[in-house]
Amino acid sequence: MTIEESFKKNSYKNFYLLYGNEDYLIVNYKNKFKKLISYPELNLYEFDDMVDINTIHNIIMSNPMLSEKKLVIIDYEDFSKKINDTYFELFNNISPNTILIIIERDIDKKSSLFKFVEKNGVVTECKTLDASGLKSVAERYFKSNKMNIDKSELQYFVDKVGISPDINMMLNEANKLINYCIDNGTITKEAIDSICITSLENKVFDMIKAQVRKDFGRLEKLYADLYNLKEDPKKIFALLKDQYLKIISVKSLENLSKTDVEIKKILNINYDWSLRNLKLFSKRFETARLELIIDRISSLELKIKTSSISPTSALEILIFNV
Give pLDDT tens digits for 233-248: 998 999 899 999 999 9
Cα–Cα distance for residue pair 272/104, rounded to 1 Å: 28
Cα–Cα distance for residue pair 250/275, rounded to 1 Å: 8
Residue 164 has pLDDT above 60, yes or no: no
Residue ranges of the domains in the chain? 3-125, 131-195, 200-320
Q: Work out the average pLDDT over 164-168.
A: 61
Can you give the pLDDT at residue 218?
86
The CATH architecture one would assign to domain 200-320 is Up-down Bundle (1.20)
Tens-digit pLDDT profile for residues 34-56: 999 999 999 999 998 888 899 99
Portion of the chain with pLDDT greater than 90, in percent: 61
Cα–Cα distance for residue pair 278/244, rounded to 1 Å: 9
Tens-digit pLDDT profile for residues 55-98: 999 999 999 999 999 999 999 888 999 999 999 999 999 999 99
Higher pLDDT, 38 or 169: 38
Q: Work out the average pLDDT over 246-251.
A: 95
Residue 188 has pLDDT above 90, yes or no: yes
Tens-digit pLDDT profile for residues 86-143: 999 999 999 999 999 999 988 999 999 999 999 999 999 998 777 778 888 899 999 9
Residue 227 has pLDDT above 60, yes or no: yes
For 131-195, which CATH class?
Answer: mainly alpha
The CATH architecture one would assign to domain 3-125 is 3-Layer(aba) Sandwich (3.40)
Residue 277 has pLDDT above 70, yes or no: yes
The whole model's pTM is what? 0.61
Using alpha carbons, select from 312, 295, 301, 306 the residue that is nearest to residue 245. 295
Can you give the pLDDT at residue 266?
94
> Out of 124-133, 260-269, 304-313, which region has the weakest mean confidence (pLDDT)?
124-133
Cα–Cα distance for residue pair 129/16, rounded to 1 Å: 20
> Out of 170-179, 185-194, 263-272, which region has the weakest mean confidence (pLDDT)?
263-272
Cα–Cα distance for residue pair 175/14, rounded to 1 Å: 36
